[in-house]
Chains A and B, each alone.
Chain A
Amino acid sequence: MDSNPFLTTMKIAFTAIVAFLLLLTFWQGTHVEEQVAALTRENSALTDKVGDLARKVDDLKGRADRLDGKADAVVTMLASGARVGPADGGAKVVVPPARTEWGWAANEGLDAALDASKPAGTPGRYRNFVSLDPVNLIPPESKGHEDGLVGTAFGPQEKSFNPILSTSASMQEEIELYVTDAPAGEHWGDPYKYAPALCWRVEVSPDFREYTLFFRKDVVWQPLALDLSKYPHLRGSHPVTAKDYKFTIDTILNPQVEAASLRSYFDDCEGVTLVDDFTAVVRWKRTVYHSISFTLGRALLPEFLYAYDADGTRFPPETFGQQFNAHFYNRISTPGCGPYRMLPYDGGEWITLERFEDWYGAREGSRYPVKTKRLLVYQDNETPFLKLQAGELGILGLTASQWKKHVLDDLRPENPFQNGTFVTYKGLRPVYYYVGWKNTHPLFRDKAVRRALALACDVSTMAEKIFLGRLVPMSSPIFPGSPSADPDLKPLGYDLKEAARILDERGWKLNPETGVREGTVDGKTRKFEFELVWRSPSPEVEALINQYRNDLRAIGVVMTPVPLEWSLYLEKLHDRDFEASFGGWGSQAWDQDFEQIWTSKQIQEPKSSNYIEYSNPEVDRLSDALRTEMDVEARKEKARRVGRLLFEDQPVCFVGWSKTFGAHAKWLKNPIERQFKTRPFIRTLPMWVDR
């Protein structure tokens, strides 16, 4: 042995590497591994075939059962003296036609002979609430392009793929909308109407407190993203039934389940009663408008998966909620019965969705053109941008700096963003920025003062110089694309003279010595000075705040920006330990609900979203009325009135709507609508690939 340990170590390392390489060469050379890989693939294909066959067998069993049922009916009729076929004397015994087990045709005649006295769960008590969507989401041009693969950006790694537990927008927009399915979906052209999805018929009582859902019988859960040889209890075909619906709603209502935000919308839900395996009745304690979307638009969870642990043992009811929160499948995939199936996620940088060929919609001619969707999991914004350029992503929203550098500033003809390789787009998103005043603070109690402060905010210049066009001045928190938006309500505008005049009028006089306005509030003289907290870091927001500070200073108001880290910022807001704040809200894009942010009852909640402590009895009244108003036109009118009141009160300075910029490869067709979804429960328009 060498006496030099250093050399010895080097020799051992070298020998080990050479040995490993020799072994690998031998392994490769004998083709054993390739044979193993081929066998594995064959095995996997066979397993799939077995799964298909099992599903077909189940299907045939179902048909046989139904035939049995018909035979029983015939036997019963014969026993009661009826006869099938021509009777003596030419009279005919009419056998009632077997109801089509599912499908739109089964509705035929039901609406013509409504009878509210029928027992609950019987079709034909009330008019069918769902109607066929006249818009065909599959564009005819996509024919012949059904094998495309397209990559899109997802975001940071998802902690849970469970549709109830996850709260991220990426999860909802990129996975749930493609993988899961609900009893009904909104019409593309008119989201106030619903189209049938998992239900062939939905009946709603006139007071909107009882919903009867008739589920189709031909819908199956997608094969799970698991090696089913390890989970024998999950093998076989599993139909989607009303039991799954009841399981889903019961799970949401379970107080142990970490879905409090979602549960709050079901506060008034009494629960679900099953009439049979394919009929469910949902009852609500009182009439609330959101009962429609939350009864019909909720994606179903498979009971055969989530009610059991990995060994197939049913969770005990005492701890079900907690075990559901930590279910083993949550980190693997999202189970669904929609048009795409999510493959198991291995923690890498791609999440893959594959078209589910057995989707009922595909059988009815709504097969989605893209075969495979890959979603990029990333942290750094540069990663998806490079992937877009490399052709791995088909579409991407661009950051302000990427837009400026690659689209606005680089005008060279070889720039792919100029020469047509990528098509750029812009669009408005239902997200807005605001400066929130603590409405109970002595400085901001007066709405005229708040109006003056808003007049000092030069949004147009900010939009042009700072946001490079990614900001659109706004008048109220109602999204311009919503039918509730008042077209006559224009943004307040920028007018320093008027702002100064209002402040003078309201008793805030300029002290010529200090250059700061002073006034008397509650018997005390105070300067118009305040701090504005904002969440750092964001160069654009910082520039915006600085510009606003300068404008306010010009009219004698001193604002000191205080940048804070996210959790500290949030703590300040929750504890109302601030004077003014800068923030953003995601707004409802279509229908409106003002309860969370603008009603005074929320002020008493320690962590409420109305942390600015805004209160207006008329807004409270309209908001309450809106919650129970079922008439669409009346809803629009009430929402417009709230919008006008908020504009008059200026509880916050409404800065502007956020605009998004992006680019997509020219080979990706029809991708834009998905970027600007204004309807929360609608499936996005299908893209296709032409490359």
Chain B
Amino acid sequence: MFTYVVKRVLLMVPTLFGISLVLWLVMLAAPGRPGGDGAGFGETETKGDPTKDIAKGESEFLFRRQFALDRPVFWNGWTSLTVADVRAALDDARAPIQSVGAKRKRLATERLEDWGTYAVPSLVALLLETEGADQDAVQYWLRRCAHQRTIPTQDPALMERNRRFASENAELATVAWKDGASPADRAAGVARWQAWFEGRKGRWEWSGLDRFRIGLTDTQFGTYWGNLLRLDLGTSHQYKRPVVDLILERLQVSMVLSILSILIIYVLAIPIGIGAAVGAGSPADRGTSLVLFLLYSLPSFFVGTVLLAAFTRGQHAPFPTSGFSDSESFGWNTWDRLKDILWHITLPLVTMTYSGLAGLSRFARSGMLDVLRADYVRTARAKGLGEGAVIFRHAARNGMMPIVTLLAGFLPALVGGSVVVEYIFNLKGMGLLTIEAINNRDYNIVVGETLIVAALTQLGILLSDVLYAVMDPRISYK
């Protein structure tokens, strides 16, 4: 058993890797990009125009850098950039929109920005090949690409590096010539750029191993997995907070709802299922079946809305319209706060419970029916045991096996939350967080939350396997 469990746990790692790979592929295929218009970047922010200030677009660039969005998704081949590649992008970025089209111009500009330091050698080479306004444009992009980005840190060594970067960035202004400079100034400027480049040439001399390492690691996927191996799910680009913090904050609401609803479902479904199985075919069984099927067929958004309309309308309504607790409950004693929370979540709980209750009680019924027809139950009856003892001591143990193992399947639901219920009842839980993250392309939240749910699903499956073995001595894993 132990070996089996270890094997399964080890298998989870490649499975999670595969899941995250699929997730990245799906997100890659989806239209739209993270940040963009939702992250405070203005329409008027100008890119690709050499006449504009060099600092323009810096905040957007830093944002993309921070989340590795300026890197290729799976493989970084930018160590092999050629002068022709850079020239082509430069030409497109500078061309009038009417001649190349807005999309090509945008993509070319983004490409130049994303290449950053990788394009520096080619841009220095291009400085020698161009003149006039073309040369000004090459210098503009050279300054942008050579600009080194500082990263906030508490590490003294990295802070020192930031200071060095800032000083080197300031130095770039002294190397560059002003737009519209005379040919002599321009020539002197080119010489300064060459000297600047020669002094740092080592930065762009990569060995084959370096190219392979960069190709794999300096990518969106590589960065994400690098962080993941350090158990870092990253930071939400909308909230500017660690994903783990956000998930833990939202879990409070989702888990209370999920645990209570699962508890209620089990407490009610098992006796209903047993009762229905014992009295199978009776009018009571048929009536229960009818009601349960009706409940099962009602969508939760409908039931939630009906409950709201029926029980929360007006100033003397029995239940509050929404929320998890009273906003002024801070300072109340535990009992009053518990009562307040229960009062607030009664309707959401009903909405979350009825459907699961209907489904699970049918499982319980069919499980019990199978067992009640078994030989050993007949034997128990034959040896004169009372009906209660037969059902609860002998039949229920085996009959409830599928139900208990289904419990493991609820594990991911504890974290996942319910989008519909949270939306209708205005509860700030995991479901809403996920939907919001999807809408805003907040990749780190989406992937982080999905990976947690995926891991819990696998754990749940493993747990149900183990439970089978514990409950049924005939099952063993070797």
Binding site for B on A (CB under 8 A): 4-7, 9, 24, 27-28, 33-34, 37, 40-41, 156-157, 159-160, 165-167, 255-264, 267, 315-319, 321-323, 325-326, 330-331, 347-350, 352, 374, 377-380, 382-383, 386-387, 389-392, 440, 565-568, 570-571, 574-577, 596, 603-609, 611
Q: Once bound together, how far apart are the Cα atoms of A259 and B305, in whole Å?
A: 40
CB closest residue in chain A, given B57: A260
- The reply to whether A347 and B428 contact each other, CB–CB distance below 8 Å, is yes
Q: Once bound together, how far apart are the Cα atoms of A596 and B42, in whole Å?
A: 11
Q: DSSP majority for the B interface?
A: loop
* Size class of the contact patch on chain B: 35 or more
Q: Once bound together, how far apart are the Cα atoms of A392 and B424, in whole Å?
A: 17
Q: Kindly provide the distance from the CB of B71 to the nearest chain A CB, expressed in whole angstroms.
A: 18
- The reply to whether A568 and B31 contact each other, CB–CB distance below 8 Å, is yes
From B63, B106, B313, A607 is in contact (CB under 8 Å) with: B106
Q: Once bound together, how far apart are the Cα atoms of A606 and B312, in whole Å?
A: 50
- The reply to whether B321 and A386 contact each other, CB–CB distance below 8 Å, is yes
Q: Kindly provide the distance from the CB of A672 to the nearest chain B CB, expressed in whole angstroms.
A: 23
Top-10 shortest CB links A-B: A567-B32, A261-B42, A255-B58, A255-B55, A575-B103, A606-B106, A386-B321, A326-B240, A576-B102, A350-B327
CB closest residue in chain A, given B164: A318
Residues of A within 8 A of B40 (CB): 165-167, 258-261
Known: A323-B152, A568-B32, A604-B97. A6 touches B397 (CB 8 A): yes
Residues 31-69 of chain B, each 1 if its beta carbon lies under 8 Å from chain A, else 0: 111001101111111111100010111111011001000
- The reply to whether B102 and A378 contact each other, CB–CB distance below 8 Å, is no
- The reply to whether B426 and A374 contact each other, CB–CB distance below 8 Å, is no
Residues of A within 8 A of B239 (CB): 159-160, 331
CB closest residue in chain A, given B165: A318
Known: A256-B58, A607-B106. A565 touches B31 (CB 8 A): yes
- The reply to whether A349 and B323 contact each other, CB–CB distance below 8 Å, is yes
- The reply to whether B393 and A4 contact each other, CB–CB distance below 8 Å, is yes
**Stretch of B18-26, B129-137, B329-337, B454-462 with 4 or more beta carbons under 8 angstroms from chain A:** B329-337
Q: Once bound together, how far apart are the Cα atoms of A40 and B249, in whole Å?
A: 24
Q: Kindly provide the distance from the CB of A411 to the nearest chain B CB, expressed in whole angstroms.
A: 19
CB closest residue in chain B, given A265: B44
From A9, A156, A264, A348, B42 is in contact (CB under 8 Å) with: A264
Residues 423-450 of chain B, each 1 if its beta carbon lies under 8 Å from chain A, else 0: 1111010001000100001000000000
Q: A255-B58, A326-B235, A387-B321 are in contact. List 7 more A-B contacts (CB 8 A).
A: A255-B55, A259-B40, A261-B40, A318-B163, A348-B323, A348-B327, A606-B97
Q: Once bound together, how far apart are the Cα atoms of A568 and B386, in whole Å?
A: 68
Residues of B within 8 A of A166 (CB): 40
Is B276 on the interface with A (CB-CB < 8 A)?
Answer: no
Q: Once bound together, how far apart are the Cα atoms of A605 and B235, in whole Å?
A: 31
CB closest residue in chain B, given A607: B43
- The reply to whether B313 and A574 contact each other, CB–CB distance below 8 Å, is no
Binding site for A on B (CB under 8 A): 31-33, 36-37, 39-49, 53, 55-60, 62-63, 66, 96-98, 101-103, 105-106, 109, 150-153, 159, 162-163, 165-166, 235, 238-241, 249-250, 305, 308, 312-315, 317, 320-325, 327, 331-335, 338, 392-393, 396-397, 400, 404, 423-426, 428, 432, 436, 441, 470-471
**27 residue pairs bridging A and B, Cβ less than 8 Å apart:** A37-B332, A157-B428, A256-B59, A256-B62, A258-B39, A258-B40, A258-B60, A258-B63, A261-B41, A267-B53, A317-B166, A322-B150, A326-B240, A348-B428, A378-B426, A380-B426, A386-B313, A390-B312, A565-B31, A567-B32, A568-B32, A574-B106, A575-B101, A575-B106, A576-B103, A604-B49, A606-B102
Known: A383-B322, A605-B46. A316 touches B331 (CB 8 A): no
> For A6, A27, A37, A440, which residue has the most chain B Cβ atoms within 10 angstroms?
A6
Residues of A within 8 A of B334 (CB): 24, 27-28, 33
Q: Once bound together, how far apart are the Cα atoms of A566 and B37, in whole Å?
A: 11
Residues of B within 8 A of A326 (CB): 152, 235, 240-241
- The reply to whether B42 and A318 contact each other, CB–CB distance below 8 Å, is no
From B153, B321, B471, A5 is in contact (CB under 8 Å) with: B471
Residues of A within 8 A of B425 (CB): 383
- The reply to whether A6 and B59 contact each other, CB–CB distance below 8 Å, is no
Known: A258-B63, A575-B103. A349 touches B426 (CB 8 A): yes
- The reply to whether A389 and B42 contact each other, CB–CB distance below 8 Å, is no
Residues of A within 8 A of B56 (CB): 255, 260
- The reply to whether B96 and A604 contact each other, CB–CB distance below 8 Å, is yes
- The reply to whether B109 and A606 contact each other, CB–CB distance below 8 Å, is yes
Q: Kindly provide the distance from the CB of A169 to the nearest chain B CB, expressed in whole angstroms.
A: 14
Residues of B within 8 A of A261 (CB): 40-45
Q: Once bound together, how far apart are the Cα atoms of A350 and B97, in whole Å?
A: 47
From A330, A331, A606, B105 is in contact (CB under 8 Å) with: A606
CB closest residue in chain B, given A31: B333
Residues of B within 8 A of A323 (CB): 152
Q: Once bound together, how far apart are the Cα atoms of A349 and B39, in whole Å?
A: 23
- The reply to whether B331 and A41 contact each other, CB–CB distance below 8 Å, is yes
> For B424, B441, B470, which residue has the most chain A Cβ atoms within 10 angstroms?
B424
From A330, A567, A596, B44 is in contact (CB under 8 Å) with: A596
Residues of A within 8 A of B333 (CB): 28, 33-34, 37
Q: Once bound together, how far apart are the Cα atoms of A317 and B31, in whole Å?
A: 37
Residues of A within 8 A of B324 (CB): 348-349
Q: Once bound together, how far apart are the Cα atoms of A574 and B33, in whole Å?
A: 13
Residues of A within 8 A of B48 (CB): 606
Q: Once bound together, how far apart are the Cα atoms of A41 and B96, in whole Å?
A: 66
From A159, A257, A352, B59 is in contact (CB under 8 Å) with: A257
- The reply to whether B58 and A28 contact each other, CB–CB distance below 8 Å, is no
Q: Kindly provide the distance from the CB of B470 to the nearest chain A CB, expressed in whole angstroms.
A: 6
CB closest residue in chain B, given A602: B44
Q: Once bound together, how far apart are the Cα atoms of A565 and B338, in whole Å?
A: 42
CB closest residue in chain A, given B241: A331
Q: Kindly provide the distance from the CB of A418 to the nearest chain B CB, expressed in whole angstroms.
A: 15
Q: Once bound together, how far apart are the Cα atoms of A76 and B115, in whole Å?
A: 66
- The reply to whether B321 and A159 contact each other, CB–CB distance below 8 Å, is no
Q: Kindly provide the distance from the CB of A351 to the nearest chain B CB, expressed in whole angstroms.
A: 9
CB closest residue in chain B, given A609: B43
Residues of A within 8 A of B150 (CB): 318-319, 322
Q: Kindly provide the distance from the CB of B34 to the nearest chain A CB, expressed in whole angstroms.
A: 10
Residues of B within 8 A of A379 (CB): 423, 426, 432
- The reply to whether B102 and A575 contact each other, CB–CB distance below 8 Å, is yes
Residues of A within 8 A of B39 (CB): 258
- The reply to whether A374 and B327 contact each other, CB–CB distance below 8 Å, is yes
- The reply to whether B321 and A390 contact each other, CB–CB distance below 8 Å, is yes
- The reply to whether A576 and B97 contact each other, CB–CB distance below 8 Å, is yes
Q: Once bound together, how far apart are the Cα atoms of A249 and B106, in whole Å?
A: 31
- The reply to whether B312 and A386 contact each other, CB–CB distance below 8 Å, is yes
Q: Kindly provide the distance from the CB of A172 to the nearest chain B CB, expressed in whole angstroms.
A: 13
Residues of B within 8 A of A568 (CB): 31-32
Residues of A within 8 A of B470 (CB): 5
Residues of A within 8 A of B33 (CB): 567
Residues of A within 8 A of B327 (CB): 348-350, 352, 374
> For A33, A159, A574, A576, which residue has the most chain B Cβ atoms within 10 angstroms?
A159
- The reply to whether B152 and A319 contact each other, CB–CB distance below 8 Å, is yes
Q: Once bound together, how far apart are the Cα atoms of A545 and B240, in whole Å?
A: 39
Residues of A within 8 A of B424 (CB): 380, 382-383
- The reply to whether B335 and A24 contact each other, CB–CB distance below 8 Å, is yes
From A325, A348, A374, B325 is in contact (CB under 8 Å) with: A348
Q: Kindly provide the distance from the CB of A334 to the nearest chain B CB, expressed in whole angstroms.
A: 16
Q: Kindly provide the distance from the CB of A266 to the nearest chain B CB, expressed in whole angstroms.
A: 11
Q: Once bound together, how far apart are the Cα atoms of A117 and B409, in whole Å?
A: 81
- The reply to whether B97 and A603 contact each other, CB–CB distance below 8 Å, is yes
Q: Once bound together, how far apart are the Cα atoms of A362 and B250, in whole Å?
A: 39
Q: Once bound together, how far apart are the Cα atoms of A318 and B109, in whole Å?
A: 26
Q: Kindly provide the distance from the CB of A347 to the nearest chain B CB, expressed in whole angstroms.
A: 5
From A40, A41, A165, A390, B314 is in contact (CB under 8 Å) with: A390
Residues of B within 8 A of A608 (CB): 43-44
